[in-house]
């Protein structure tokens, strides 16, 4: 469960940010170099970034600037070549792959641009998958939780629909419900509205803002600067560095 945004007391192992909230995410001197044959491709070049619990942050920048790489560092999908990545007092860069997978399953919900729903499963079955992976609760409890999340995103009447029977916006709502399955502290989106029309993208943003208002930390990458400008905080990445 995310911290109360009005609670100024940091948890053990964590530090308080300038807002008085506990510091949830800290990247310090993070570099990432990919080996491309005989050539080194530098994706991140000394990134320092701090995000407090219950913040809503948009990350913007041109293609190839390092936005998605930062997201991969924060979610433990990739590791830094140098520097440290800390989440709520835990060093992600020191964890094993097995530890990272277990940590990610209970702390992070991920929303993808192209939904990533399994086409042969219903909305309810897709929304329950993360709980099946981490084996949390009984089968009945898992489905009750998934049903609750689908109702939360406005799809309580389409539990049995397959993805092909849903609009793009509805599919993204299923993806958001799925991201909430394990009650994660952090919800991240990699271009979560990039495959939606303007009106539906605005609806998705409002849903994310509602979740943020309930105490979830929201972090999303977007090319849509108008959408990003609606977030309380915007971080700009250029050439692998934070520039704004």
Which residues share a beta bridge with 90?
A: 87
- Residue 16 DSSP label: B
- pLDDT tens by residue, 175-234: 999 999 999 999 999 988 888 888 888 888 999 999 999 999 999 999 888 899 999 999
Residue with tokens 């905080």: 233
* Length of the chain as a residue count: 244
- 162 and 131 Cβ atoms separated by less than 8 Å: no
CA trace torsion 118, 119, 123, 124 (10° rounding): -60
- 179 and 107 Cβ atoms separated by less than 8 Å: no
Ramachandran category for residue 84: left, alpha or beta (phi over 0 → left; psi -120 to 50 → alpha): beta
Domains of the chain: 54-76+96-242 (3.40.50.300)
Report the alpha-carbon distance of residue 244 to residue 234 in Å, rounded: 8
Which residues share a beta bridge with 217?
A: 186
CA angle, residues 7, 8, 10, in degrees to nearest 5: 100
Ramachandran category for residue 209: left, alpha or beta (phi over 0 → left; psi -120 to 50 → alpha): alpha
pLDDT digit string (tens) for the chain, length 244 residues = 333 334 434 444 556 655 577 999 999 999 999 998 889 999 999 999 999 999 999 999 999 999 999 999 999 999 999 999 999 999 999 999 999 999 999 999 999 888 899 999 999 999 999 998 888 889 999 999 999 999 999 999 999 999 999 999 999 999 999 999 999 999 999 988 888 888 888 888 999 999 999 999 999 999 888 899 999 999 999 999 999 8
For the entire predicted model, the pTM comes to 0.87
């Amino acid at each position: 469960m995310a911290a109360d945004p009005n609670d100024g007391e940091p948890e053990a192992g964590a530090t308080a940010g300038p807002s008085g909230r506990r510091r949830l995410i800290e990247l310090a001197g993070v570099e990432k170099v990919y080996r491309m044959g005989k050539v080194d491709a530098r994706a991140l070049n000394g990134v320092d970034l701090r995000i407090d619990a219950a913040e809503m942050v948009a990350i913007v920048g041109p293609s190839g600037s390092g936005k998605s790489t930062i997201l991969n560092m924060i979610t433990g999908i990739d590791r830094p070549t140098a520097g440290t990545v800390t989440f709520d007092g835990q060093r992600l860069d020191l964890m094993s792959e097995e530890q990272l997978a277990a940590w990610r399953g209970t702390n992070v919900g991920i929303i993808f641009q192209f939904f990533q729903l399994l086409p042969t499963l219903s909305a309810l079955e897709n929304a329950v998958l993360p709980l099946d992976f981490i084996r949390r609760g009984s089968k009945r409890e898992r489905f009750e939780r998934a049903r609750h999340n689908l109702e939360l995103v406005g799809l309580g009447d389409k539990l049995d629909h397959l993805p092909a029977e849903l609009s793009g916006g509805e599919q993204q709502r299923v993806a958001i419900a799925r991201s909430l399955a394990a009650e994660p502290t952090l919800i991240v989106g990699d271009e979560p509205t990039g495959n939606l029309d303007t009106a539906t993208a605005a609806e998705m943003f409002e849903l994310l803002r509602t979740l943020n208002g309930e105490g979830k930390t929201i972090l999303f990458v977007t090319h849509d600067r108008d959408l990003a400008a609606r977030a309380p905080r915007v971080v700009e990445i250029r050439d692998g560095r934070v520039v704004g």
